[in-house]
Amino acid sequence: MTTEGSGGRAPTVRFARTGEVVVVTLDRPERLNAVNDALVRDLCDALARAGEELPSAVVLTGAGRAFCAGHDLKDAPEDEDDAAALARLDRLAEVTRRIRQLSMPVVAAVRGYALGAGFEFAICCDLVIADPGTVFGFPEVEVGLAVTGGVTHLLPAMVGPAKANELVFMGTRLDAHSAAALGLVNLVAEDPLARALEWANVLAGKPRRALALAKSCLAAGLTGGLEQAFTLETTASLALAATPAARAAAEAFRGRRGGGEPAV
């Protein structure tokens, strides 16, 4: 299935569902999936559709040789007034909002270039799997632009302020192993899409509500303090304790004899 482009144009994002897993594919391979306003609109639509269909996991990837090579400077808007620019930038921020607000985990399968907005799309996902040859980087400052997509919040939380400053100010390029060493990539794999689908199917076998509450608590932990974390964790624990999945797990554990497995 394919997400329709608005206004009758060709779509720039594909949406496909198999069982409990949705794959959202950036589909401008001739431009290395570089970001223009059409792609942002289609990506927001695809993420909204995922939120409506409620799969157990979403995989975000790119068609062809790259995940996303950043903003398409050849397709930049001309004679854009302030109101139009503000609306366009808010749509770009909406990509991060929608990924972070989805109740299910989103796994990025990354290869080739993940630059600028492409790097932003990757790190706003919950899990990132990258090909060894992937190149990550924020070139915005080099070309007189600003990072977007919540990077100024997410990146320092992930790598620390000093390293975030370096990556943004210097435009430092990272390979997949270097990004993994910084905590920006979970797994380096030769076929990131295949591994992302494996992980997504593992996630699909876990209790949906437990995953949703884990994701929301972890996201809140980026901005809240320790006491807020205690409150959110307690609320989630109480909400989950009475679910069928938790009761079944407790009964199964009690039914084991001499298994030597620790309790949670």
Which helix (DSSP H) or strand (DSSP E) does residue 243 occupy?
none
Q: Is 142 a catalytic residue?
A: no
Query: Which tokens sit at 96?
Result: 């991060």
Residue 223 burial class via C-beta count within 10 angstroms: exposed 0-12, middle 13-18, buried 19 and up = exposed
Catalytically annotated residue among 4, 20, 94, 140: 140
Nearest C-alpha neighbor of 193 from the set 80, 66, 59: 59
Q: Provide the sign of the torsion angle of the four alpha carbons 96, 97, 100, 102, taken in this order.
A: negative
CA distances for 132 relative to 107, 120, 124, 177, angstroms: 17, 19, 20, 7
CA distance 58 to 100: 12
Question: Three-state SS for 87?
Answer: helix
Query: Which residue in the block uniquely carries the two structure tokens 């996902």?
Result: 125
User: Cα 254 to the chain's mean position, in Å?
Assistant: 37
**Number of residues that this document lists for the chain:** 264
Helix-helix angle 37-53:82-101, to 10 degrees: 30
Using alpha carbons, list the distances in angstroms from residue 166 to 114, 116, 130, 139, 141: 17, 14, 22, 12, 11
- The span from the CA of 122 to the CA of 61, in Å, is 9
Place of tokens 């040789």: 65
The catalytic site residues sit at 140
